[in-house]
Amino acid sequence: MMRTLKLSLVVALTVGLYPGCAEDEGDQPSQEVIDGQNAAAEEIAAGKADEAGCSGTVLPDRRGFAHRIALTFDDGPNLVTTPKVLDILAAHGVQATFFMNGKNVTTAAHRDLVKRMAAAGHLIGNHSQNHLNLKTVSAATLRSEVEKTRDILAGLDVTLGFFRFPFGSASCTSAATVRDYGYHVTGWHIDSADWCYGAGGGYCSPATFRYVADQYRRDINGYVVSQAKATGGGVLLFHDVHAWTVAHLDAVLTSLEDAGFTFVRLDDTTTFPKLNGVAAPPPGPWVGTPCGTDADCSFTASGAAAFCYRFGADGGSLNYGFCSVACAGFCPDRAGAAATFCVAAADGTSGLCAAKAGADACGATPGTSAQTADRYIGSSTATPATASVCLPR
């Protein structure tokens, strides 16, 4: 802990020497950033593994991280702040992934910095040339944004394996185009909200980012750790261009370590097999699988044990059942299985996950038929929605 205090003091002092070289505390993010990050958080919260192919935020790996975290940093490099981030990571023995905008690699000093990062074992990712919303640009502009940064970094003998869309904003077409270049498209599981905390001088306003619980509005350490515990690990998003992030990164990493988390790189195939293209869909029962007892639903999802939801027909006897998990707003998905949706349970005060109707999903669940249902929101931040779901006839 003494090491943490000393390092934090040094970082705080050195950041203060360069107030004009990085985003200052109190600078407000643009409306595009605010809208983009909130939209990404909504997509991640509702994200389905089966939909990851069209998303710039949702990853195909949704669980099984075993308290492992991949640190990622966007929008650099910055000659003042990025070296300090590297020093902090070195003190923790952590290798991260830096997603770079080509427009920020303009001088020999920038190129030397990129080489230093690669030599230290950090991964370098493509974050486009100009940080545009690539979901809305023309096909020609999209290719130009990818290729310009690729060519700049390739000239530095950097191996590029990962691409992150600015704001996590992608479409099926744009994601497919990026993959044509050989990239793995990656979003994140946890947004540190460093950009929001920095804008408020340590206070993340709900008007800026609505996905931070009130008890963490002035506590980035608590917020990041709470999110990491909720997901069990995963990909964590920071920005290496903010002075505020530099001043608080050491303390956040220490808090994660104290909570039992360890750090890996994005190319760790044990932690992120699907992202790296080396995994097959896990076997066994899932939401919507026919069942007779809870023992037939031997899986957990989002930390909750599955159960057999029994329902009646032919006079009310419990002749049928399907596997489900409790939910509020969102349900987990699994690659190779039907997408899921959170609906109200019979009592109306709780929710349960059911399979969405599609590709004859209801035919695989006896006693059900496709029915339109409202999303059960409960205490979540989900927005109202409806879906066609396999529910008891």
Q: List the catalytic residues.
A: 74, 239
Whole-angstrom CA distances from 290 to 321, 351, 356 are 6, 19, 14
List all residues 6 or more positions away from 240 whose beta carbon is below 8 Å from its beta carbon. Answer: 73, 74, 75, 76, 77, 78, 81, 82, 85, 98, 246
